[in-house]
Amino acid sequence: MKLPTIIERGRFPSPAPAPQALAWDGNKLWMGSRDLSRIFVIDSETWEVLDEKQSPGIPWAAVATNGTLRFTIGEGPNDDRYICRFLPDVGFSEADKIACPEFTGSYLSYDNENLYLSQWYKHRILKLDANGNIVRVIDVDAEVSGHAFVDGIIYVLRGTEQNGESWTIARLDPWEEKPEVKDIAIVPFACRSLTFDGANFWSNHRAANEIVSFALPL
């Protein structure tokens, strides 16, 4: 059966090149620029940049976590990956920094209790405890370019960047013993990061320096 395509609601110019990390905190969007290593706060209604801050490394991913944010940050010549806590009114907290398993990992989601970290080349999403230890492994059977929780279900961008990039959005129930990953729709651009604002999904078309709002087909 041929999959339908997502319904784009809007494309917006990124305030900085190479938009990479993306998170919705309940009121506004947070975007991290891969090339500038800076974080931007965006009003999604007016598309005004409300604030921007320097990141301690490359902000590969972000997720809102009950009033704070977590970023996956790449540091050093080897781009070692760490999960860093960010307080909007204060900045990054070095004391809460956690090394990603094997210093690898990118996209983040949050179930209101635990963080979930995906590993691109291992085709999997890891459920982590508060210390960054692996609690559970969920196989996704493809490269992962973003994931987000919506009503207890994980929505995941999966596919490959090879041969011109090919992506779908799928969903899985993390509470199942062996979650079945079900593709829902084709994502017709090279998507990076996934977040949900309560009505629509958002992702970055990094190569085009655009941020895209979209809905799932009915």
Rounded average pLDDT over 177-182: 95
Residue 41 domain-assigned?
A: yes
Residue 73 · residue 60 · CB < 8 Å? yes
CATH number reported for the structural domain that contains residue 75 in this entry: 2.120.10.30
Rounded distance, CA 113 to CA 147, Å?
16
Residue 1 domain-assigned?
A: no
Per-residue pLDDT at 1: 67
Residue carrying structure tokens 């090879």:
162
Rounded distance, CA 128 to CA 47, Å?
34
Please state the domain count of the chain: 1
Q: Domain range for residue 11?
A: 7-215
Per-residue pLDDT of 100-159, as tens digits, reads 999 999 999 999 999 999 999 999 999 999 999 999 999 999 999 999 999 999 999 999
Contacts of 65 (CB under 8 A, 6+ apart): 110, 115
Residue 201 domain-assigned?
A: yes
Does residue 163 sit in helix, strand or coil? helix
Rounded distance, CA 185 to CA 38, Å?
31
Residue 2 domain-assigned?
A: no
Residue 70 domain-assigned?
A: yes
What is the distance in angstroms between the CA of the first residue and the CA of the last residue of the chain? Answer: 16
Residue 154 domain-assigned?
A: yes
Residue 44 domain-assigned?
A: yes
